[in-house]
Amino acid sequence: MSGETVLRVKDLYKRYGDRIVLKGVSFEIRKAEVKAIMGPSGTGKTTLLKCIDMLVKPDSGRIWLEDLELTDPRIDIGEARKKIGFVFQEFNLFHHLTAIKNVMIGLTKVKKLPKDEARTIAERALLKVHIERELWDKYPAQLSGGQKQRVAIARALAMEPMIMLYDEPTSALDPQLTGEVLEVIKELAEDGMTSLIVTHEVGFASEIADEIMIMMDGKIIERGDPRKVIHNPRREETRRFFSKILKIGDESR
Amino acid sequence: MSFWEEFLSKLSFGTLITLQLLTVTIPLSVILGILIGILRVYGGRIGKTLANLYVYIFRGFPLLVTLMIMFFGLADIGIRLTPYWAAALAIIICSSAYQSEYVKMSILSIDEGQSLAAKSLGMKRSTEIFYIILPQALRVALPGIGNEIIYMILYSSLAYIVGVNEIFSAAISVNSIWFKPTEVFLVTALIYLAMTTMASYGLKKLEHRLWIPGFETRRKS
């Protein structure tokens, strides 16, 4: 748990029209740490992740990636984004490129690596997420949801990011496909990949995360050790949130 | 010279001129149409305004009128174009305005996630446009662009009005001497039909070559 801070978010605010989505969010992640963000839908979790990658500009507050201030308008944001891996809920694979080309394009067009070197790195990244050779030349439409999301993880991973941001990585998947994706995320985390994960998978979060942050109404209302937050929360809202999603989980079984 | 001798020799010369006109107007209008389409989406305030104005004007003028302006209007202010280049210019301007519409719509049809994913990898705007958005958008726009190419083949006949010796003007001049409209215009029509058939075939081939699994179904989801 020790080690230098990779990401620091301080007092982040974001509003859309007259709806305030983020109301002063602050936290830090150290190297190799895994943090999960949980909470009801529409409470700003996705907006928070997008703000960190500056895909959405926060209204106020500051974000640092190590010593680099991402919220400083003078920095080259493209340079900074290279170091942040983003995994989307809807995968967002490039539809016109095969699996391996999806992974290579960031390496050749952003990092300007020669093609053969990019290919080697891409192959390694794909194997790491258990996408075997026979799938490398398939187009996204020819892959299952779980395979798509793993290719998307490989695409982010190949850029050698300092941190991975996962935005509900299994929410768009059929239940029987979530396992293969969660397994990959877990393996990467165990290898020391610093990760920030927005998820609704309680079991997964409690198993993998060093800390769970509960977000409600644009604020982090509770944070701490997963077991404690899930089973013995300080706040009544947190207790109600977990009892609701755990009950739904039981019924579906 | 018999009717058929004169007709066929004039017609084959006319066909050559038409093909010459099309080899210039088709590629240039497609390229210009794509550029204007890009400008209409990504051009910033000034670029967008200028490109929209261009489309507003030349989609609002009949091609015939644009053609007159290019030939007679420009001559009035001292720019003398040959009939051939006046016709080529008018067709390019008019068709590119239409084509930019297909390009613009297809760019806007690409879902936001593609752009977000490109940005999250650290791509610059230009890299994102040229390597992620356009390869997808142009596939979507291809049938529309193909349709415009077919129109261009047909509307190239308007060039006769400023004195280009293309197929239609050959037909008119033969008919005025021999007065055999049935034969003359039937054969003329068949030549246009042959050209559009070849173009359709080529476009089908191209669509087939650029086809990517699931590309159309993707847009429904």
Residue among A84, A90, A156 whose CB faces B113 most closely: A90
Q: Looking at the domain assignment, is residue B221 inside a domain?
A: no
CA dihedral for B170, B174, B176, B181, sign (positive or negative): negative
Chain A residues whose beta carbon lies within 8 Å of the beta carbon of residue B130: none
Euclidean distance between CA atoms B197 and B155, whole angstroms: 15
Average pLDDT over residues A31-43: 94
Partners of B213 on chain A (C-beta within 8 Å) are 138-139, 141-142
Kindly report the number of other CB atoms within 10 A of residue B62's CB atom. Answer: 10
Smallest CA–CA distance, residue A223 to chain B, in Å, is 27
Considering the domain boundaries, does residue B62 fall inside one? yes
Please indicate, yes or no, if residue B69 is contained in any of the structural domains: yes
| Binary contact (A139, B212; C-beta < 8 A) | yes
A114 CB within 8 Å of a chain B CB: no
Q: Look at residue B128 and tell me whether its pLDDT is greater than 80.
A: yes
A54 → chain B, closest CA residue? B120
CATH of the domain at B144: 1.10.3720.10
B177 touches chain A (CB under 8 A): no
B53 reaches A (C-beta below 8 A) = no
Contact with chain B for residue A160, Cβ under 8 A: no
- Helices B134-155 and B181-210 cross at an angle (nearest 10°) of 170
The number of domains in chain B is: 1
pLDDT digits (tens, 9 = 90+) for B59-103: 999 999 999 999 999 999 999 999 999 999 999 999 999 999 999
- A-B contacts at Cβ under 8 angstroms: 83
Q: Does B220 touch chain A (CB under 8 A)?
A: no
Structure tokens at B156: 């190239």
Look-up: residue for tokens 């699994």?
B213
CB distance B218–A95 less than 8 Å? Answer: yes
Task: Tell me the C-alpha distance between B15 and B11, whole Å.
Answer: 6
Cβ atoms of residues A37 and A80 within 8 Å: no
Across chain B, mean pLDDT equals 94
Question: Most distant CA pair in chain B: distance in Å?
Answer: 73
Domain of B112 in residue numbering reads as: 9-215
In a domain, B3, yes or no: no
Measure the CA–CA gap between A171 and A198, rounded to whole angstroms. 10
- Give the residue among B129, B140, B133, B139 at the shortest CA–CA distance from B111: B133
Q: pLDDT tens across A152-193, in order?
A: 999 999 999 999 999 999 999 998 899 999 999 999 999 999
Looking at the domain assignment, is residue B102 inside a domain? yes
In a domain, B26, yes or no: yes
Chain B touched by A141 (CB under 8 Å): yes
Predicted pLDDT at A247: 72
Flag whether B176 is in a domain. yes
A206 has a pLDDT exceeding 70: yes
pLDDT of residue A114: 98
Does the predicted interface ipTM exceed a cut of 0.95? no
B142-193 pLDDT per residue, tens: 999 999 999 999 999 999 999 999 999 999 999 999 999 999 999 999 999 9
- Domain assignment present for residue B178? The answer is yes
